Amino acid sequence: MQPGRLGDCVWIAFRALLSRRAHKNGLNSTLLMKTPVRITKAHHLFILLLLAAITLAANAWGAGTIDLGMLRTNHTATLLKSGLVLITGGLNETEVFSSSLLYDPRTRTLVATGSLNAARANHTATLLSNGKVLITGGDKNGTILTSAELYDPRRGAFKTVSSQMSTARNKHTATLLQDGRVLLVGGATADLFDPATMTFSATTGAPVNRKNHAAILLANGTVLITGGYVNSISSNSTEIFNPASQTFAPPLNGMLLARANHTMTFLPDGTILIAGGFSGTSPHNSTEIYDPVAQFSVVGPKMLFHRASQDAVPLADGRVQIIGGTTLESGFLDSNEIYDPVLKTWTLNNIMLENRSFHTSTLLRDGTIFVAGGVTGNRTLQSAEALDPLTLSFTSLGNMQVGRNQHTDSLLPNGKVLLEDGSLDTATLQSAELFNPATNTFTPTLGVPNKARKNHTATLLSDGRVLIVGGRNQANEDLSKAEFYDPATDLFSYTGSMNQSRALHTANLLPGGKVLFIGGVITGGDETPTSELYDPATGTFAYSGLLKLKRKRHTATLLPDGTVIAAGGNYLANSQGGGDRETNTAELYNPVTGLFSSVQNMNVARSEHDATLLFDGTVIVSGGVFTSAVSDLYHPNTATFTASGRLSQARGRHRALLLADPIWGSLVGQVLIIGGDVTGGSIFGGAQQALDSVEIFNPATGLYSDFGTMTVARQNHTATQLPDGRILIAGGVGRPFVSGTAELVTP
């Protein structure tokens, strides 16, 4: 929230308070709003409290932009070894800055650090091997600088370097060499800075006199320098600097096109993506792929937008994120795009909150990108924002045939998804629909389910049919009758009945083809300790073992050895008073003996949580209603639980989905945690509030991180991974209504 808007909010709220008091006392509130107000101590206290409340609310709402404190562009941003980001100098419409800031990604806050000894913009900042940052050159009010200074993160201070560059430089490049020295290129000479002696020395050879060019350190220790403005004209001039001889020489072949303010980024195969830039006054959408070994460029796929003065950030999975820049159509861009070197394609990735050019983009350790400052239109930006290359990939699909909550989803052999029954506000549904991923559309099934039900299960059988079991009807009675959905005929038909009606139970397809149903609640509200097996060959149900603890709203996960781990849930019957109570117990079902055996307790009691089988055979148990954010990891080899990472947001009634399709690249094997709810504060009467946030769990680190935001807040929704790797998210309860919408998330 901007400071001016915050003050306006306080003043409006204060006036509203006076108006309410005027109305209560029969006064003219309109006249009062025009009357000068005498601020009493009580009023002053109210304003302070209201200001604090609004500030806390603004922080809680997680405002998208981060205040830089001063409008700035043409600054630098450097990722320090501590994980903090150092922002130095820059300018706005009225001044050049000496101020510097530190950004902390953990708290999303910026704090002042030491000031530069010389205000400067269009300078460079290079992280040295010893952790200090070398600041060189730049300009101030038309004067180009020869000076340099060092920032010491331990002291939070800058110290002027006594030695100066051989020539004044701005809009130059600084490249850290393999031996720890820094090559400075820009102007008619080049310099080497030696941190050991704290001195600058001119190189033996002289480079092409250029600025606004690009430079990149090659694997063999040489430096590739491309393009820029040569005699005020954009150029395709290309040079390679050899640190051993300190000379500059052209490669066998240079760039194909003239470029200035372009980017160069390494691809996984060792080639270099050269993208965008100005040719004359026009930004390019062209790219080329330069092979530093063959010293040869080939034309690359065109970007979606013409761009210059953009940023390029290499991602951990080998793709390249292009951020902002100046374009032909609208002047400045807020649209970012990603290049995939495997598919050789560009795709729109996300939209920034601001159009930006001449900004900085810093890849943080958690994979997010910190974008700061820049210009847009005719003004300098004060804001910064954090981008996730995988964020904002949620696309609304519009409305389903019927809004659904407490429904089921089943991925059919033909690739379609069956969404069946559930509830709509107070009504229990007796309907089903199919989602077609080829057309992204929903259509009603030809047949109608034989029973209206919610809180039931739907299990895809080996023959392609879906077994629908249990649940509750409109009269809140638990059901025993089961039915089939047959994709071949698009019809529903009855099969056998369970021995005991149940809802809020679990269902698992066992390796032999039978289906195991565990626990749940029976009519009257009491949990049941029973389990049953359904045999598709005979169409009959038979009792199996008894649970050690009767439970509902638990999870049941099929393990690689064919056993099933049932964890958590509620165990106190409604008839006993006091409401439901969560349990941290778990037990293991053995399909050979048909018996349950207790295993070590979880670290946290939980219900309405989710459990996900990982590739290594362990199970991550996440979230739950009224629980903390801590997770449990179940180890089948020892039948024990260990505490795992904490969710970024405590949540229950969410969906957890293992990313298994190769389309997810480096994220394969990680788990998406989608939506859910959190207990509301007193302002909501303690009610559950639906969440639109999505996070991802990385088993390699045991940590959760933010992934993105759904188009709609949802709890009790479904999430289905489609055959092409996309994920369909459908229905659920939003704020506060049942949602009839669905959306897709794509990598």
Q: Quick one: tokens of 399?
A: 């409305």
Residue 663: DSSP 8-state: G
* Confidence category of residue 394, pLDDT binned at 50, 70, 90: low
Dist. CA 410–CA 348, nearest whole Å = 30
391 compared with 511, residue with greater pLDDT: 511
Checking if the pLDDT of 33 tops 50, the result is: no
In sequence order, what are the residues at sequence separation of 6 or more whose Cβ sits closer than 8 angstroms to the Cβ of residue 10? 47, 50, 51, 54
Partnered with residue 432 across adjacent β-strands are: 420
Confidence of residue 315 (pLDDT cuts 50, 70, 90): confident
Q: How far is CA 346 from CA 287, 320, 668, in A?
A: 11, 9, 21
The predicted-structure confidence for 215-269, as pLDDT tens digits, reads as follows 999 999 999 999 999 999 999 999 999 999 999 999 999 999 999 999 999 999 9
Helix (H) or strand (E) holding 45: helix 41-60
227 Cα distance to chain centroid: 35
Beta strands 238-242 and 223-226, pairing class:
antiparallel
Lowest mean pLDDT among 120-124, 301-305, 399-403, 653-657: 399-403
Identify the weakest region by mean pLDDT among 171-185, 597-611, 679-693, 708-722: 679-693
What pLDDT score was predicted for residue 110? 87
pLDDT in tens, 633-642: 999 999 999 9
pTM equals 0.54
Rg of the chain's alpha carbons, rounded to an integer? Answer: 31
> Whole-angstrom Cα distance, residue 341 to residue 318?
7
Length reported for the chain: 747
Q: Which residue has the tokens 């004067």?
A: 143
Tokens of 634: 């179940």
Token pair 């050895």 is found at 561
Which residue type is seen at 564?
A: V
HSE-CB at 318 with a 13 A cutoff on CA atoms is: 15
Q: Torsion angle, CA of 497/499/503/506, rounded to 10 degrees?
A: -90
- 547 secondary structure, DSSP code: P
pLDDT of residue 372: 85
- Which of residues 747 and 280 earns the better pLDDT score? 280
| Long-range contacts of 509-514, Cβ-Cβ distance < 8 Å, separation of 24 or more | 509/459, 509/460, 509/461, 509/462, 509/558, 510/558, 510/562, 510/564, 510/591, 511/562, 511/591, 512/591, 513/461, 513/462, 513/537
pLDDT interval class at 712 (50, 70, 90): confident
Residue 389 pLDDT > 70: no
- The structure tokens listed for 637 are 């080899």
Q: What is the DSSP string of 260-321?
A: BS-EEEE-TTS-EEEE--EETTEEB--EEEEETTTTEEEEEPPPSS-BBS-EEEE-TTS-EE
Say how many CA atoms lie within 13 Å of 95 toward its Cβ. 8
